[in-house]
A and B are shown apart, each in its own frame.
Chain A
Amino acid sequence: MRKLLAIAVGLAMTLAVSAAGAADKLKIGFIYVGPVGDHGWTYQHDQGRLAIEKAFGDKVETTFVEKVAEGPDAERAITRLARQGAGLIFTTSFGFMDPTIKVAKRFPKVKFEHATGFKRADNVATYSSRFYEGRYVIGQIAAKMSKSGVAGYVASFPIPEVVRGINAFMLGAQSINPDFKVKVVWVNSWFDPGKEADAAKVMIGQGADIITQHTDSTAPLQIAQEQGAVGFGQASDMMKFAPKAQLTAIIDDWSEYYVNRTKAALDGSWKADDTWGGMGDKMVVMAAFTNMPDDVKKMAEETTAKITSGEFHPFTGPIYKQDGSLAVKEGEVLDDGVLLGMNWYVKGIDDKLPN
């Protein structure tokens, strides 16, 4: 018992010392949904964290909690970071939205940043990338490269973010081949390499020769390579996992955003606003276009350039919903509000959207 007490006192002292030592630094906490080593979504956020450390050195101290389950666990993890004196906390998954808002209420002095959500508060900002811009490009590539005219889409959860991606992919594909088909399999997980691989295998068996994914592991792309199909990297450049199968990858680049927000928090100009950046803001970057003929590469580069310059928006009308009703008139562009809450498929997708 005495020993235990000694340990407890020791721990308390170290905590007190570290808290005192860090008082003049800005502590920045990150909550990750996956492991840092997923080489996908969480990996890219961690690259952003490292960019902050590089940019500000001694002025900041960053910590992260990885593999935090969406739900009550997240609330505890965020609370802990706030208690430990973090001044700025990034919660980097959609499912952390409600926990972030809840904790933010209890810690009004701490600044929160929630990725991909839509709920804000006086001390909660939101940010996201316009990944769908990249998905339009890969949709075009898919339609050019596919022999069977069928792509398999490994999807995680039916939230607007993912649905928007599927729609953008389909619109891109339809701009090349109006009869293009997309199979969608929901694995109900962001990260389960085995299940993602199974989904890819099953869809290749059903005739898909292009595999794309909105889940975080590299497994579907590796299966594509193994079975002679091709695919796209997700969130991060996955070239070394599938050198023969990766056509390109949509890379989330959070570095610039994270550095800017940290700067704002340090100089006091931080505001709880919303950022939704795309290719034009360098938040969405395409990896090298590989394993494709030159004409396809040229097309992909042109589309990327047009989206980057703002000349073209992937959701430009006419766009029809799955039930045939008109969603966007010719020449008009779907507004951000509709995009953010997207809960319908565009025409041509066979899957029925789970409610």
Chain B
Amino acid sequence: MGALEAVILTIITASTPLLLAAVGELVVERSGVLNLGVEGMMVMGAVCGFAAAYTSGSPYLGIAAGITAGIGMSLLFAFLTQSLVSNQVATGLALTLLGLGLSGLIGEAFTGLPGVKLPKIWIPVLTDIPFIGPILFGQDILVYVSIALTIAVAHVLFKTRIGLVIRAVGGNHHSAHALGYNVIAVRYACIAFGGACAGLAGAYLSLAYTPQWIENMTAGRGWIALALVVFSTWLPRRLAIGAYLFGTVWIMGLYVQGLGIGIPSQFLSSLPYLVTIVALVVISGNRTLTKVNTPACIGQPFVPDR
């Protein structure tokens, strides 16, 4: 395996969890809800995914458990913010704290156990093609899922009726309500989708990225996903670019260090953030377009008048 191939493979595994978590949050925010609990849902997905996979021996059950855990956490958030109309920012932050604490508790029995690794797919002939094979046809399924999800979200949001409703709810919930759409139900569904994606991203960490459970193993990736959503101006395509750009600069930073060129590592560590922000600000330079894409109702509570 050549150095370039290793680097590309590492970039893909580093970018996938970010993309998975971010694409879910993008839908949530498009519906006008700001869920800052991505990190908490993600870490719960990681611990439940690991626990289920370890107990059953099947990484696929682990994935299912991770998704379920993410949905469970997100429904708690949905109930508090949509049904009880609590403050979304505070509730989201609380969800992160809850997730980090609860996952530590659940995971206590699972720390230090060797995990079950999600296998990489292998297609005869195609995967054997040198260089291209392992990169295009030799990933684990979640890598393909993350890409398919991004494309699907882009399609649903902008090409279908459902997407129009979601965007209408996020853009002006009073109008959407007046048109007869159930704002709360739409938001519940979007929040649950976001939870499923965050849980999946967490399961990716504990099943594919580093197959083990360690407390706090998300190490801030949920926050990076949140930032990516904002800087992508809520557009799935830009989000994918942003996630991969972040992953690329992140891994290249390590790569350059390994070459021993002597660029300060602190600078290299901050580079992914800088480059991604600058790049996404540049590509979203069109102010009107950005304004159009920003969900106007984001973070605002909605109480239907009865």
Shortest CB–CB separation between residue A126 and chain B, in angstroms?
26
Among residues of A, the one whose C-beta sits closest to the C-beta of B17 is: A194
* Given A193-B214, A193-B217, A241-B212, A354 and B6 contact (CB-CB distance below 8 Å): no
B87 within 8 A of A: no
CB–CB A350/B112 < 8 A? no
Whole-angstrom CA separation of A219 from B107 in the bound complex: 17
Q: Which residues of A contact B259 (CB under 8 A)?
A: 183, 206
A188 within 8 A of B: yes
CB–CB A241/B114 < 8 A? yes
Q: Which residues of B contact A186 (CB under 8 A)?
A: 257, 265, 269
What are 19 A-B residue pairs whose CB atoms fall within 8 Å in the complex?
A: A35-B111, A37-B104, A37-B108, A37-B112, A67-B215, A67-B216, A191-B216, A198-B13, A198-B250, A199-B258, A202-B6, A203-B258, A205-B2, A208-B258, A218-B212, A223-B210, A241-B112, A350-B260, A351-B260
A91 within 8 A of B: no
Whole-angstrom CA separation of A350 from B258 in the bound complex: 9
B266 within 8 A of A: yes
Contact flags A174-196 to B (C-beta < 8 A → 1, else 0): 00000000011111110111110
B67 within 8 A of A: no
Contact flags A220-240 to B (C-beta < 8 A → 1, else 0): 001100100000000000001
A310 within 8 A of B: no
Q: Which residues of A contact B269 (CB under 8 A)?
A: 186-188
Shortest CB–CB separation between residue B72 and chain A, in angstroms?
23
Tell me the residues in window 299-350 of chain A with beta carbons closer than 8 Å to chain B beta carbons: 350
CB–CB B112/A194 < 8 A? no
Shortest CB–CB separation between residue A212 and chain B, in angstroms?
14
Contact of B3 among A37, A188, A194, A205 (CB under 8 A): A205
Among residues of A, the one whose C-beta sits closest to the C-beta of B217 is: A193
Among residues of B, the one whose C-beta sits closest to the C-beta of A152 is: B258
CB–CB B260/A194 < 8 A? no
A355 within 8 A of B: yes
Contact flags B198-220 to A (C-beta < 8 A → 1, else 0): 00000001000111101111010
Q: Which residues of A contact B219 (CB under 8 A)?
A: 189, 191-195
CB–CB A194/B266 < 8 A? no
A108 within 8 A of B: no
Whole-angstrom CA separation of A185 from B98 in the bound complex: 33
Tell me the residues in window 218-258 of chain B with beta carbons closer than 8 Å to chain A beta carbons: 219, 221, 250-251, 254-255, 257-258
A53 within 8 A of B: no
Q: Which residues of B contact A217 (CB under 8 A)?
A: 210, 214
Tell me the residues in window 1-51 of chain B with beta carbons closer than 8 Å to chain A beta carbons: 1-3, 5-7, 9-10, 13-14, 17
Whole-angstrom CA separation of A197 from B23 in the bound complex: 24
CB–CB B111/A39 < 8 A? yes
Whole-angstrom CA separation of A194 from B216 in the bound complex: 11
Whole-angstrom CA separation of A351 from B265 in the bound complex: 11
B262 within 8 A of A: yes
- Please classify the interface of chain B as helix (H, G, I), strand (E, B), loop, or mixed, using the class held by over half of its residues: helix
* Given A184-B260, A193-B212, A355-B264, A205 and B217 contact (CB-CB distance below 8 Å): no
Q: Which residues of B contact A201 (CB under 8 A)?
A: 6, 9-10
Q: Which residues of B contact A197 (CB under 8 A)?
A: 209-210
Among residues of A, the one whose C-beta sits closest to the C-beta of B100 is: A67
Shortest CB–CB separation between residue B15 and chain A, in angstroms?
11
Whole-angstrom CA separation of A204 from B2 in the bound complex: 10
Size bracket of the A interface: 35 or more
Shortest CB–CB separation between residue A147 and chain B, in angstroms?
15
Whole-angstrom CA separation of A222 from B255 in the bound complex: 19
CB–CB A39/B257 < 8 A? no
Whole-angstrom CA separation of A158 from B267 in the bound complex: 13
CB–CB A35/B254 < 8 A? no
Among residues of A, the one whose C-beta sits closest to the C-beta of B14 is: A198
Q: Which residues of B contact A198 (CB under 8 A)?
A: 10, 13-14, 250-251, 254
Contact of B266 among A184, A185, A188, A206 (CB under 8 A): A188
Whole-angstrom CA separation of A165 from B10 in the bound complex: 27
CB–CB A184/B10 < 8 A? no
Q: Which residues of B contact A185 (CB under 8 A)?
A: 254, 257-258, 265
Among residues of A, the one whose C-beta sits closest to the C-beta of B209 is: A194
CB–CB A35/B264 < 8 A? no
9 further contact pairs, Cβ within 8 A, besides A205-B1, A205-B3, A207-B3: A35-B215, A37-B108, A184-B258, A185-B258, A186-B257, A193-B214, A202-B255, A205-B5, A222-B210
Whole-angstrom CA separation of A158 from B268 in the bound complex: 14
Contact of B214 among A35, A203, A352 (CB under 8 A): A35
Q: Which of A202, A203, A222, A355 is the most central at the interface, judged by chain B CB atoms within 10 Å of its CB?
A: A202
Shortest CB–CB separation between residue A240 and chain B, in angstroms?
6
A61 within 8 A of B: no
Among residues of B, the one whose C-beta sits closest to the C-beta of A217 is: B214
Among residues of B, the one whose C-beta sits closest to the C-beta of A40 is: B214
CB–CB A194/B214 < 8 A? no
Whole-angstrom CA separation of A197 from B117 in the bound complex: 14
A38 within 8 A of B: yes
Q: What are the 7 A-B residue pairs with the smallest beta carbon separation, nearest first? A: A205-B6, A352-B262, A37-B111, A350-B260, A186-B265, A35-B215, A192-B219
